[in-house]
């Protein structure tokens, strides 16, 4: 059988990747409807599964420890960071006639500084009940100097101190005196945060845990009576630390939680930065996190006109958590406070919180006679008057907070390689591709129009990748040649530019395909493709994964960003689900008449090359991969949840080359040292992994010219 050359296949693909993307904005309505329906269905599935396995108190006791460990993991805290010395420093004090404030900082990890104010009543009898107050997003910045959001929320600490509590108010990462980042995916395109399994919510949770360590180190504090509260972002972090740490005895999260439906379907995610969310590897709805506070006293507090924590979602969370409290026989430990108002720190919200802490931390219920007011200027509460410490890591903590995989050893035997391969594949299935359907829907291959011009026949198909996701599959081969007569078929994974170029190539011969759009005819590309199919018994197939070509949704940057963020909330990524689409496309291609016996090659460029490579790991009997300009790291894509905690693209090249022949085409020499060394250590055939360096514009090889 004639074996086609790598050069020919590269040249066949190159014209389909060279043209600029067409303007298809007018054709995105169907794609928007499809993806919105998909998000509704996936969200409903997760909501239905939330706490479904908990029917008895014994069920809860059996599962609670696992839930908590999953939450640690989804916050980037598994394995636990070391509890390194806090190295607390008090940089100043502010005096009030009823209390004092200590301006202080500690290090939750070396170089990760937490700035805060500790409010202490002047008169006290014995150790005090303590409150950890976690700030929401309240920027206080003057003349380029950040004073921390603790200044904005100072009235809470003052009230607690005037009423017999110690209160530690801590800054958050983004709006602290050392300004880090919460908006990685929302604003700055740091999608690699998902690949690292990083979320600033994990930093906030760890800072809270270490703040409890600090409170317990103070002689003024009764370490057995600690509560937590905060609103908005601080409400979210209150939920996290209360769920993770039993030292929190009473919790009052304010405007910090709602349902997954609100976030994904109703769009509340668009009003929140990344610090509000876990990396949802285990596909939780929010009531599962909230339930981890049970059976400790918990007041869920919200206003009725809060646009980013809507009332229906808050009530839904309360209803689900109430069932867990009732299993414990502690229904009186759960409260729901709804006040009138928008997303705002109102007095009505504060008063009920004060009552709740008095009731459960002090076993008192006095009349609230004092209001929460601000007493100090920002500079009085400033901690770092000389600027940020030279060793601070706050501004770059995303680079080191979650552990990443260490360079793996080259296996010294086939058995060692098999063990490593199984470990990586299992990690991909459980931590990166867990959002793939456990029981996929039928492929339901449907043939659309077929047409021919000269020696070229094009056949259009639709197939189901998963419920609600119908995608196009295009097959091209020589006219008069049955599919079963092909020597091989190449499945190409195309991006938007590749799809547009495919449409333009076919238009060059006067041909159209399902989901195609009007495009300027590329007659040269059509002629090249026609020469290929006349000379070789090859089939060329093309799949446009979801969001590309006929299923594209709105193309403006905000829409693209917020769609990708919704995938993460569902425990998926767009690239991860596109990888599943390619796996399913290979299955669909096998259903085309006679294709089940034809050798299968797979091909892609740049991000789609990596997506194709990962898909090949889950497709049986792939003969060869042709990967053009393959990214060297997931840092630049594709983005899969947590993947960099386990392996990177060079390791996956080795995995792929262990199953199929791999050809990598790149513009420069070097790289891919790990798969090269694996191939050498295991004595693979030299044709199993080949890296070719191509000139910037390699001219077309004519049909029949071989350069294997």
Q: What is the pLDDT of residues 426-452, one digit of tens each?
A: 999 999 999 999 999 999 999 998 999
Q: Which residues pair with 543 in a beta bridge?
A: 473, 493
Q: What is the mean pLDDT of the chain?
A: 93
Determine if the peptide bond prior to 79 is cis (ω within 30°): yes
Of the pLDDT bands very low, low, confident and very high (cuts 50, 70, 90), residue 375 is: very high
pTM value is: 0.94
Answer yes or no: is pLDDT of 702 > 90.
no
Q: What is the pLDDT of residues 65-109, one digit of tens each?
A: 999 999 999 999 999 999 999 999 999 999 999 999 999 999 999
CB 649 within 8 A of CB 610: yes
Of the pLDDT bands very low, low, confident and very high (cuts 50, 70, 90), residue 6 is: very low
DSSP 299-348: EEEEETT-SSS-HHHHHHHHHHHHHHHHHTT-GGGEEEEEESSSSS--HH
Beta carbons within 10 angstroms of residue 110's beta carbon: 12
Cα 430 to chain centroid, rounded: 14
C-alpha 499/C-alpha 502 separation (Å) is: 5
- Look at residue 275 in the predicted model and tell me its pLDDT: 97
DSSP 103-131: EEEEEEETTEEEEEEEEEESS-SSSEEEE
C-alpha 207/C-alpha 225 separation (Å) is: 19
C-alpha 138/C-alpha 169 separation (Å) is: 13
Answer yes or no: is pLDDT of 609 > 70.
yes
Of the pLDDT bands very low, low, confident and very high (cuts 50, 70, 90), residue 17 is: very low
CB 138 within 8 A of CB 169: no
Nearest to 339 by CA among 372, 377, 300: 300
C-alpha 447/C-alpha 246 separation (Å) is: 59
Beta carbons within 10 angstroms of residue 427's beta carbon: 17
Of the pLDDT bands very low, low, confident and very high (cuts 50, 70, 90), residue 226 is: very high
- Look at residue 697 in the predicted model and tell me its pLDDT: 55
* 313, two tokens: 């979602």
Domains along the sequence of the chain with CATH: 6-45+424-693 (3.40.50.1820), 73-399 (3.40.50.1820)
Nearest to 672 by CA among 614, 613, 631, 704: 631
The CA-based dihedral angle spanning residues 60, 63, 66, 71, taken in that order and rounded to the nearest 10 degrees: -40
Helical (H) or strand (E) element with 654: helix 649-657
Q: Integer distance in angstroms from the first to the last C-alpha of the chain?
A: 14
C-alpha 645/C-alpha 617 separation (Å) is: 19
* 261, two tokens: 């439906």
- Look at residue 27 in the predicted model and tell me its pLDDT: 63
Which residues, 6 or more positions from 91, have their beta carbon under 8 angstroms from its beta carbon?
103, 104, 105, 383, 384, 385
Q: Return the higher-pLDDT residue of 125 and 251.
A: 251
Mean pLDDT of 325-340: 98
- HSE-CB of 682 using CA atoms within 13 angstroms: 22
DSSP 397-440: GGGTSS--PPPPPPPSSHHHHHHHHHHHHHHIIIIISTTS-SSP
Answer yes or no: is pLDDT of 700 > 70.
no
Nearest to 566 by CA among 435, 427, 428, 430: 435
Q: What is the pLDDT of residues 129-175, one digit of tens each?
A: 999 999 999 999 999 999 999 999 999 999 999 999 999 999 999 99
CB 166 within 8 A of CB 220: yes
Beta carbons within 10 angstroms of residue 681's beta carbon: 16
Q: What is the pLDDT of residues 450-466, one digit of tens each?
A: 999 999 999 999 999 99
Q: 262: buried, middle or exposed (CB in 10 Å: 19+, 13-18, 0-12)?
A: buried
- Look at residue 515 in the predicted model and tell me its pLDDT: 75
Q: What is the pLDDT of residues 526-557, one digit of tens each?
A: 999 999 999 999 999 999 999 999 999 998 99
């Amino acid at each position: 059988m004639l074996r086609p050359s790598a050069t020919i296949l590269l040249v066949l693909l190159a014209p389909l990747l060279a043209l600029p993307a067409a303007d298809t904005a007018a054709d995105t309505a169907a794609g928007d409807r499809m993806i919105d329906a998909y998000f509704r269905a996936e969200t409903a599935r997760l909501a239905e599964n939330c706490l479904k396995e908990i029917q008895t108190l014994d069920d809860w006791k059996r599962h609670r420890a696992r839930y908590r460990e999953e939450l640690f993991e989804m916050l980037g805290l598994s394995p636990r960071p070391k509890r390194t010395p806090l190295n607390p420093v008090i940089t100043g004090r502010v005096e009030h006639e009823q209390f004092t404030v200590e301006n202080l900082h500690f290090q939750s990890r070396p170089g990760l500084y937490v700035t805060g104010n500790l409010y202490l009543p002047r008169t006290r009898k014995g150790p005090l009940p303590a409150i950890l107050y976690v700030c929401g997003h309240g920027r206080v910045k003057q003349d380029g100097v950040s004073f921390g959001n603790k200044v904005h929320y100072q009235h809470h600490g003052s009230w607690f101190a005037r009423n017999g509590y110690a209160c530690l108010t801590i800054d958050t990462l983004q709006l602290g005196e050392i300004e880090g980042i919460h908006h990685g995916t929302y604003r700055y395109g740091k999608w690699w945060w998902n690949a690292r399994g990083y979320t600033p919510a994990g930093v906030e949770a760890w800072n809270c845990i270490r703040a409890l360590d600090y409170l317990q180190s103070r002689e003024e504090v009764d370490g057995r009576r600690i509560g937590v509260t905060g609103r908005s972002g601080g409400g979210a972090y209150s939920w996290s630390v209360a769920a993770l740490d039993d030292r929190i005895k009473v919790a009052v999260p304010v405007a910090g939680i709602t349902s997954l439906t609100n976030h994904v379907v109703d769009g509340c995610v668009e009003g929140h930065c990344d610090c509000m969310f876990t990396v949802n590897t285990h596909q939780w709805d929010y009531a599962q996190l909230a339930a981890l506070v049970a059976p400790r006293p918990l007041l869920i507090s919200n206003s009725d006109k809060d646009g980013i924590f809507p009332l229906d979602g808050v009530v839904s969370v309360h209803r689900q958590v109430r069932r867990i409290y009732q299993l414990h026989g502690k229904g009186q430990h759960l409260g729901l406070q709804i006040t009138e108002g928008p997303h705002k720190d109102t007095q009505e919200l504060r008063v009920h919180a004060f009552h709740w802490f008095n009731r459960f931390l002090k076993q008192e219920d006095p009349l609230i006679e004092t209001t929460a007011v601000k007493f100090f200027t920002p500079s009085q509460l400033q901690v770092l008057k000389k600027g940020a410490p030279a060793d601070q890591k706050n501004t770059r903590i995303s680079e080191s907070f979650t552990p990443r995989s260490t360079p793996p050893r080259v296996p010294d035997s086939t058995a060692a390689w098999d063990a490593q391969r199984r470990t990586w594949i299992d990690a991909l299935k459980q931590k990166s591709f867990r959002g793939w359907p456990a029981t996929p829907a039928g492929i339901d291959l449907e043939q659309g129009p077929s047409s021919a011009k000269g020696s070229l026949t094009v056949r259009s198909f639709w197939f189901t990748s998963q419920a609600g996701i119908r995608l196009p599959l295009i097959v091209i081969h020589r006219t008069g040649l049955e599919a079963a007569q092909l020597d091989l078929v190449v499945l190409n994974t195309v991006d938007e530019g590749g799809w547009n170029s495919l449409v333009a190539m076919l238009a060059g011969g006067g041909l159209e395909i399902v989901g195609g759009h009007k495009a300027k005819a590329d007659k040269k590309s059509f002629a090249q493709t026609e020469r290929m199919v006349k000379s070789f018994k090859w089939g060329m197939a093309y799949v446009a994964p979801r969001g590309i070509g006929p299923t594209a949704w709105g193309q403006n940057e905000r829409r693209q960003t917020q769609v990708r963020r919704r995938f993460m909330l569902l425990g998926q990524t767009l690239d991860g689900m596109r990888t599943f689409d390619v796996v399913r496309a290979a299955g669909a291609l096998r259903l085309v008449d006679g294709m089940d016996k034809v050798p299968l090659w797979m091909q892609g460029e740049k991000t789609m090359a990596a997506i194709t490579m990962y898909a090949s790991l889950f497709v049986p009997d792939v003969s060869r991969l042709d990967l053009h300009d393959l990214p060297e790291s997931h840092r630049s894509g594709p983005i899969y949840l947590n993947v960099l905690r386990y392996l990177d693209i060079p390791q996956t090249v080795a995995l792929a080359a262990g199953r199929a022949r791999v050809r990598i085409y790149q513009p420069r020499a070097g790289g891919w040292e790990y798969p090269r060394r694996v191939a050498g250590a295991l004595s693979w055939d030299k044709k199993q992994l080949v890296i070719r360096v191509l000139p910037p514009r390699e001219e077309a090889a004519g049909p029949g010219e071989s350069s294997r």
